[in-house]
Amino acid sequence: MAFEGLSGRLQSIMSKLRGKGKVTEADVKEAMREIRLALLEADVNFKVVKTFIDRVKERAIGQEVLKSLTPGQQVVKVVNEELTELMGGQESKLAVASKPPTIIMMVGLQGAGKTTSSAKLARLLSKQNKKPLLVAADIYRPAAIKQLEVLGEQLGVLVFSLGDKENPVKIAQAGIEKAKKEQFDTVLIDTAGRLHVDEQMMDELRGVRKVAEPDEILLVIDAMTGQDAVNVAESFHREMELTGVILTKLDGDTRGGAALSVKAVTNCPIKFVGMGEKADALEPFHPDRMASRILGMGDVLSLIEKAQEAVDVEKAKELEKKMRSQKLTLNDFLDQLQQVRKMGPLEDMLAMIPGANAKALKNVTVDEKKMDRIEAIIQSMTSHEKDHPEILNASRRRRIAMGSGTSVQDVNQLLKQFQEMKKSMKQMASMMKNTKKRKGFK
């Protein structure tokens, strides 16, 4: 997970401060020295680190912090606020053209994740009931056009292409024409990258920019490349006047330096972050939530949003009814498990829970394999068995274990867990009934 090292170190520095009833100027200075080292080790640009530390120090050593009733907490608050500010303060939303279509030009080096991010962004826009058109103007990277077409098809987003023989300027122009004619409200142009920043690429991009007149020029950079990503952003910004950055591969074990430096160095806000290879792994970037996550203060808002996206409200209502009447079946159990898993890897979700700090998380190994086994076992049952698990005798259990590639013990264990869950639901239901009675509900 990104930021793991930084997060762990900042949290231990912060918890030392928090625990103190009285914080002296020397304590703050010592903490700042440690934070400085932690940031440098996380590959944050050294100038950025210096400015950050100076700002925090100035505020934290102020009388109102040290003389307050909870000085430790106040210092943590200052660090959190300054970390948020460093990453851009507030969420920076996409521009919308006053006269559609809104034109978004995607730029970046090869391999940064430009094509993937274009498709992910198109998906995000479709989910907001927009009608995006993807324009395949990366004519150099072998298979980039095909890749975009395949992604577009999976996501139900139209991809416009003229093959790899036309020049990108012409492709962009024709794509925008099509969007205007056919009432697409957003055009996403996937341009060609190179292995390094070079003049030919910039010339070509300037050509596309001239005809496309984009509302947004988004640079896609790879978080795993650390300070290199920041240097790339600086060069692109100088040449192209970027409007924002998409930082990809934040799901990997990047030390996080790029995320913390790019806004301060280029003054370009991070608008989205890529959190995985799948099409739904692109999130709007919220500096405040990211700062809280890094400091182990959780990110409940993102967790709720993920749940809202993954959970089917109708199904949830149905489930609640069944829980009350104690008619829960293994089918419901499986459904529930699958909905939770749609929210993403459990470890990522745990990191969003306040108090679940990096150190504690190290001791929790979420056994995704065990979840796979549970799914396989339930899927190997007949519908009748799922609704009536009490008929599962020894021979049925053997058959299910064979069919799911598990053991009879695994099947037994799952059934036992399910029975226990039903039992606790029964208790809960009767508790709820009693409370309602006491409160005079009908």
Q: How far apart are CA 418 and CA 424, in angstroms?
A: 10
Q: Interface with ligand GDP by CB under 6 A: which range of 65-73, 108-116, 296-304, 421-429?
A: 108-116
Is residue 274 part of the contact set for ligand GDP (CB under 6 A)?
Answer: yes
Q: How far apart are CA 289 and CA 302, in angstroms?
A: 8
Q: Is residue 148 part of an annotated ligand binding site? A: no
Name the residue among 383, 366, 432, 372 with its Cα closest to residue 406: 372
Q: How far apart are CA 121 and CA 129, in angstroms?
A: 13
Burial profile 164-203: b = 16 or more Cβ within 10 angstroms, e = fewer: beeebbebbbbbbebbeeeebbbbbbbbbbeeebeeebbe
Residue whose Cβ sits closest to ligand GDP: 274
Q: Which residues pair with 106 in a beta bridge?
A: 190, 218
Q: Is residue 89 part of an annotated ligand binding site? A: no
Q: How far is the CB of 115 from ligand GDP (least distance, A)?
A: 3
Q: Which helix (H) or strand (E) holds 270?
A: strand 270-274
Q: Is residue 156 part of an annotated ligand binding site? A: no
Q: How far is the CB of 409 from ligand GDP (least distance, A)?
A: 35
Count CB neighbours of 159 within 10 A. 24
Q: How far apart are CA 388 and CA 163, in angstroms?
A: 56
Q: Is residue 440 part of an annotated ligand binding site? A: no
Of 9, 57, 59, 114, the one binding ligand GDP (CB under 6 A) is: 114
Q: Interface with ligand GDP by CB under 6 A: which range of 51-59, 69-77, 237-245, 272-280?
A: 272-280
Is residue 263 part of the contact set for ligand GDP (CB under 6 A)?
Answer: no
| Window 154 to 213, contacts with ligand GDP (CB under 6 A) | 193
Name the residue among 262, 147, 137 with its Cα closest to residue 187: 137
Binding-residue pattern over the window 279 to 298 for ligand GDP, x denoting contact by CB under 6 A: --x-----------------
User: How many residues sit in the footprint of ligand GDP (CB under 6 A)?
Assistant: 21
CB proximity list for 189: less than 8 A, separation 6 or greater = 103, 104, 105, 106, 135, 137, 172, 175, 208, 212, 214
Name the residue among 152, 94, 77 with its Cα closest to residue 119: 152
Is residue 113 part of the contact set for ligand GDP (CB under 6 A)?
Answer: yes
Q: How far is the CB of 371 from ligand GDP (least distance, A)?
A: 21
Is residue 389 part of the contact set for ligand GDP (CB under 6 A)?
Answer: no
Nearer to ligand GDP, 148 or 319 (CB): 148
Of 38, 49, 65, 112, the one binding ligand GDP (CB under 6 A) is: 112
Q: How far is the CB of 282 from ligand GDP (least distance, A)?
A: 7
CB proximity list for 96: less than 8 A, separation 6 or greater = 102, 215
Is residue 271 part of the contact set for ligand GDP (CB under 6 A)?
Answer: no
Is residue 410 part of the contact set for ligand GDP (CB under 6 A)?
Answer: no
Q: Given CA atoms 330, 336, 338, 344 in this order, what sign does their dihedral have? A: negative
Nearer to ligand GDP, 254 or 266 (CB): 254
Q: Is residue 190 part of an annotated ligand binding site? A: yes
Nearer to ligand GDP, 108 or 226 (CB): 108
Q: Is residue 113 part of an annotated ligand binding site? A: yes
Nearer to ligand GDP, 141 or 293 (CB): 141
With tokens 């409370």, the residue in question is 435
Q: Is residue 26 part of an annotated ligand binding site? A: no
Q: Interface with ligand GDP by CB under 6 A: which range of 48-56, 110-118, 350-358, 360-368?
A: 110-118
Q: What phi and psi values does residue 162 have, to the nearest 5 degrees? A: -120, 25
Longest CA pairwise span in the chain (Å): 77
174 to each of 67, 135, 137, 206, 366, how far by Cα in Å? 65, 9, 11, 17, 49
Binding-residue pattern over the window 224 to 253 for ligand GDP, x denoting contact by CB under 6 A: ------------------------xx-xx-
Annotated binding site for GTP: 108-115, 190-194, 248-251
Residues binding ligand GDP (CB under 6 A)? 108, 110-116, 141, 144, 193, 220, 248-249, 251-252, 274-277, 281
